[in-house]
Chains A and B, each alone.
Chain A
Amino acid sequence: MSDDIVITAWGFADARGFCGTRGARGVFGQDAAQWPEAFPEAFPRFGRLDPPCKLAMVAAELLGLKPPRDGVHADIGVSLGTRYGCLDADASFFATLWRPEGASPALFTYTLPSSSIAEVAIRYKLGGPNACFLAGEESGLTALWEGVRLVESGEARACVCLACDGVTPGTAAKTPGFDAPDAWEASAFLVEVSEYARARDRAPLAAVSIQCASDTETAADGDALSVLRACVQGGRDAALACPAALRRDEVLVVTAQR
């Protein structure tokens, strides 16, 4: 069982509030001023983050990770999935591009889809492998899938699997053809080798493994990450179908710890 891969923590944030392993609950809507409720201690940097980074940070905070006293957690990676990436920062930066005083450097620093990885890595000192996947509606599932694979292969002992999209109504309104009004949520799961988790006193919520689809009977419906959240929260089993882009006849089997 020492090579088992488990989920030990989760966090979720959307326009209604946030909740996760640490049991925190808040109501913040899109008013950033209320968001630091998620943080047990002062985090002044939070106010400077762009919307996706704020969402990702709230979800990640609920995983309960602590930075090491010195150095970094070199064996903890981050796998991020995002559909709209930094659309909000891109649109905001475009608006400053031709102004007389010059473009905004503060906005430019957030014009990469991978910015959330950086912010989460900096706060919790996660120095392991990281990747930002853009895979349409299945971006979050892809990040989870690849995060599990990363741990399975031994490239990382643990991985923060993040799914995050934060597009403000203003950006949505001025971007022609943008039709995802609900692009405002983040999910985080801490996936790790069970032995690694045990050594850090993190209890497993569910075991995960990738299996051939024909070996399983369960198939998940609807939004994969919602199903996963329900599993680890509610102690039930499930199987998530492989992201279509990977074209594998496989499922991620989730076995809840009861």
Chain B
Amino acid sequence: MNSPPCVITAASAVTSLGADVEAAWSGMMRNIRGIRPMQRLPRGRYRSDVAGEIPAELEAALEAPPGARVRRLALHAARQALRQAPGSRDRTGLVLATTKADIDGLGAALRGEIAQWPAHYDPAALAIDLAQALGLEGPVLAVSNACASGLVAVAQAARLLRRNDAERMLVVGVDVLHEFVLGGFSSLAALSPDPCRPFDANRTGLSLGEGAGAIALCREGSLAGTGLGVVRGWAVTNDAHHLTGPSPTGEGLQRALRGALAMAGMAPEAIDYINAHGTGTAYNDAMEMKAVAAVFGENAPPMTSMKGYFGHTLGACGVIELALCLKAMEQRTIPASMGLDSLDPGSALRIPAEHMPVPRLDAIISMKSGFGGVNAAVALTGMEAA
């Protein structure tokens, strides 16, 4: 099925590399790792002492009032995006993507440190609060689909625009680091003791991160001002295979990739760059390499992971990385897969370990997968291709 394209009019991201897309991109281009020894969270307790933590000085400068960290990060990213994006707020809606929302608050409540219900633990309440703080009067939804939440939210926002439920949609993805997720991934032996190395033959697991991203979308016909890119297609699928492990064949992700391309009306060879999920775990990366090889064949475009720069930001990663894909498009540079030293021998794909300036970077597909077997893919192009 085809769907009218949506124009991305603004994009923002706050990560361990900095308070905006420019800072993150600049750090990436200088091969800076935002995965460092943890300062706020305890070391020596879990399988890893490194993570993509938001530095204290950056956190202090966020454009958001004191309160729950998850709210502060989300509000900071959302405000940045709305400043860039023209459009009236009364017909602007919001879709929030998160896996754990204010898990800090729930922990405090269960420990008896606070006596009231931790309101922002509920993603719906957080979404409504954000919309009110931003003065948005359109539809407000919260989605939570594991690590694919961000791209699922982009798909949901595009659906709302397709239905004319709003003139403009703001998609916000956010998750914060907490011992809850550190302890959880540690218990699954999924954390890498060292900064993660997606697609490397010697990869040892993922590095966690935290952050928020926001993108503003509007229907192609209602664009007022300049667009950054166009969402042309999306698909969400389920492996129906295992609660935590991906399908070993990558069949579910293949269907997501093919579905997004079909909706976009694009052939696989039209894609210039694949933004992988690339967590650095043995199973995820192997599954992605199989799926991409099956869909794109021998001439697959370059594929990289961004997780090596700022870690796996869980429900936020789809939005943050989409924002950085737009920057890559603008700069016509494919960012290196940070941490890649020797490519997994099972792969014949092009996964650059160095930044790769290219003459054309007009079409990107971003893919994310998560617990529960969910896969999501979004196909986007530059404005010239519109």
Residues on A lying within 8 angstroms of B by beta carbon are 71-72, 74, 78, 83-85, 87, 90-91, 93-95, 97, 102-105, 108-109, 111-115, 117-119, 121-122, 124-136, 139, 142, 146, 149, 153-155, 174-179, 245-248
B236 touches A129 (CB 8 A): yes
Is B50 close to A, CB under 8 A? no
Collect the chain A residues with CB atoms within 8 Å of residue B123's CB: 85, 113, 134
Instruction: Taking A118-B374, A149-B163 as given, write out 4 further A-B residue pairs in contact, using a Cβ cutoff of 8 Å, ordered by the A residue number.
Output: A74-B237, A118-B371, A127-B238, A130-B238
Query: How far does the alpha carbon of A256 sit from the alpha carbon of B232 in the complex, in Å?
Result: 38
Total contacts A to B, CB within 8 angstroms? 182
B141 touches A133 (CB 8 A): yes
B159 touches A135 (CB 8 A): no
Interface string of B99-119 (1 = CB under 8 A from A): 110010011011010111110
Query: How far does the alpha carbon of A130 sit from the alpha carbon of B236 in the complex, in Å?
Result: 6
Query: How far does the alpha carbon of A95 sit from the alpha carbon of B110 in the complex, in Å?
Result: 9
B372 touches A114 (CB 8 A): yes
A177 touches B374 (CB 8 A): no
Which residue of chain B lies nearest to A246 when distances are taken between CB atoms in the complex?
Answer: B139
Collect the chain B residues with CB atoms within 8 Å of residue A84's CB: 122
Collect the chain B residues with CB atoms within 8 Å of residue A72's CB: 238-240, 251-252
8 Å CB contacts to A: which residues of B198-243?
A: 235-243
Query: How far does the alpha carbon of A103 sit from the alpha carbon of B178 in the complex, in Å?
Result: 14
- Minimum CB–CB distance for A68 against chain B, Å: 10
Collect the chain A residues with CB atoms within 8 Å of residue B297's CB: none
A176 touches B373 (CB 8 A): no
B372 touches A131 (CB 8 A): no
Which residue of chain A lies nearest to B111 when distances are taken between CB atoms in the complex?
Answer: A94
Among A129, A132, A135, the residue within 8 A (CB) of B237 is A129
Query: How far does the alpha carbon of A174 sit from the alpha carbon of B118 in the complex, in Å?
Result: 13
Query: How far does the alpha carbon of A177 sit from the alpha carbon of B120 in the complex, in Å?
Result: 13
Query: How far does the alpha carbon of A155 sit from the alpha carbon of B1 in the complex, in Å?
Result: 7
B186 touches A122 (CB 8 A): no
B99 touches A112 (CB 8 A): yes
B145 touches A114 (CB 8 A): yes
Interface majority SS on B: helix, strand, loop or mixed?
Answer: mixed
For B137, B188, B372, which residue has the most chain A Cβ atoms within 10 angstroms?
Answer: B372
Number of interface residues of B (CB under 8 A): 64
Which residue of chain A lies nearest to B162 when distances are taken between CB atoms in the complex?
Answer: A153
A245 touches B180 (CB 8 A): no
Is B183 close to A, CB under 8 A? yes
Is B276 close to A, CB under 8 A? no
B374 touches A114 (CB 8 A): yes
Which residue of chain B lies nearest to A124 when distances are taken between CB atoms in the complex?
Answer: B240
Which residue of chain B lies nearest to A115 when distances are taken between CB atoms in the complex?
Answer: B372
- Minimum CB–CB distance for B193 against chain A, Å: 15
A127 touches B240 (CB 8 A): yes
8 Å CB contacts to A: which residues of B117-138?
A: 117-118, 121-125, 128, 137-138
Which residue of chain A lies nearest to B372 when distances are taken between CB atoms in the complex?
Answer: A118
Q: List 14 A-B contacts (CB under 8 A).
A: A72-B252, A78-B238, A91-B106, A102-B183, A105-B187, A109-B244, A111-B184, A122-B242, A122-B243, A127-B240, A133-B143, A135-B142, A139-B124, A146-B156
- Minimum CB–CB distance for B125 against chain A, Å: 7
Query: How far does the alpha carbon of A93 sit from the alpha carbon of B110 in the complex, in Å?
Result: 11
Is B179 close to A, CB under 8 A? yes
Collect the chain B residues with CB atoms within 8 Å of residue A93's CB: 180, 183-184
A127 touches B255 (CB 8 A): yes
B184 touches A131 (CB 8 A): no
- Minimum CB–CB distance for A111 against chain B, Å: 6
- Minimum CB–CB distance for B161 against chain A, Å: 12
List of 6 A-B pairs having minimum Cβ-Cβ separation, nearest first = A177-B117, A118-B372, A108-B184, A105-B187, A103-B183, A154-B1
A174 touches B243 (CB 8 A): no
Among B1, B141, B235, the residue within 8 A (CB) of A153 is B1
Known: A112-B371, A122-B373, A149-B163. A97 touches B180 (CB 8 A): yes
Which residue of chain B lies nearest to A155 when distances are taken between CB atoms in the complex?
Answer: B1
Collect the chain B residues with CB atoms within 8 Å of residue A119's CB: 243
A149 touches B116 (CB 8 A): no
- Minimum CB–CB distance for A151 against chain B, Å: 12
Is B10 close to A, CB under 8 A? no
Among A102, A175, A248, the residue within 8 A (CB) of B117 is A175
Known: A118-B238, A118-B373, A133-B142. A127 touches B116 (CB 8 A): no
8 Å CB contacts to A: which residues of B138-170?
A: 138-146, 152, 156, 159-160, 162-163, 165
For B3, B160, B238, B373, which residue has the most chain A Cβ atoms within 10 angstroms?
Answer: B238
B144 touches A85 (CB 8 A): yes
Query: How far does the alpha carbon of A56 sit from the alpha carbon of B186 in the complex, in Å?
Result: 28
A131 touches B143 (CB 8 A): yes
Which residue of chain A lies nearest to B238 when distances are taken between CB atoms in the complex?
Answer: A121
- Minimum CB–CB distance for A2 against chain B, Å: 16
Query: How far does the alpha carbon of A179 sit from the alpha carbon of B116 in the complex, in Å?
Result: 11
Query: How far does the alpha carbon of A130 sit from the alpha carbon of B238 in the complex, in Å?
Result: 7
Query: How far does the alpha carbon of A219 sit from the alpha carbon of B162 in the complex, in Å?
Result: 26
- Minimum CB–CB distance for B314 against chain A, Å: 10
Which residue of chain B lies nearest to A104 when distances are taken between CB atoms in the complex?
Answer: B187
Known: A128-B237, A131-B143. A102 touches B187 (CB 8 A): yes
Known: A97-B183, A103-B183, A132-B145. A109 touches B103 (CB 8 A): no
